[in-house]
Amino acid sequence: MDIHKFDGGEVSLIQHNVLLIEYNIGQLITSKNLKELKQIRERLLGNQKYHSITDVREGFINLSDDAKAYIAEENESSKVRLSDAVVVNSLAKKIEVELYIRFHKPVVKTKVFTDLNKALCWIESLEVEKLEMV
């Protein structure tokens, strides 16, 4: 698994269309960092539709207001992103992420998990749904 670093953290392609994102803990993540991440995604996947998993088990990420809006709104990235899974390691983090989801109402399916394998299973179920619709 190749790890690609950007100013805000690192990203890996863990399946043919699944990116694992780990942000630098404690660093303020801005929309500039997210646009850097978008460039890596384009190098890895082109315009292929994909799923993302954000791993925040090591600590919580500090997103600027513009980064929160960028993640939630419709833009070039959200048009090819099929889902966002967020993996946390505590009930407090889970509640915080769920509040973010309720408040910002992301245009992409978003769900919180306490286990990476469960997040991957959810993504696989979305892929099956997509195939069944065809």
Total domains present in the chain = 1
What's the pLDDT tens digit per position in 60-92?
Answer: 788 898 888 887 777 777 789 999 999 999 998
Dist CA 97 CA 88 (whole Å)? 9
Domain of residue 102: give its range.
3-133
CATH code at 127?
3.30.750.24
**128: its two tokens:** 């099956």
Q: Is the pLDDT of residue 116 over 90?
A: yes
pLDDT tens, 93-111? 899 889 988 988 888 899 9
pTM, rounded to two decimals = 0.88
Work out the pLDDT band at 132, boundaries 50, 70, 90: low
In angstroms, the CA 65 to CA 108 distance is 18
pLDDT value at 113 more than 90: yes
Contacts of 99 (CB under 8 A, 6+ apart): none
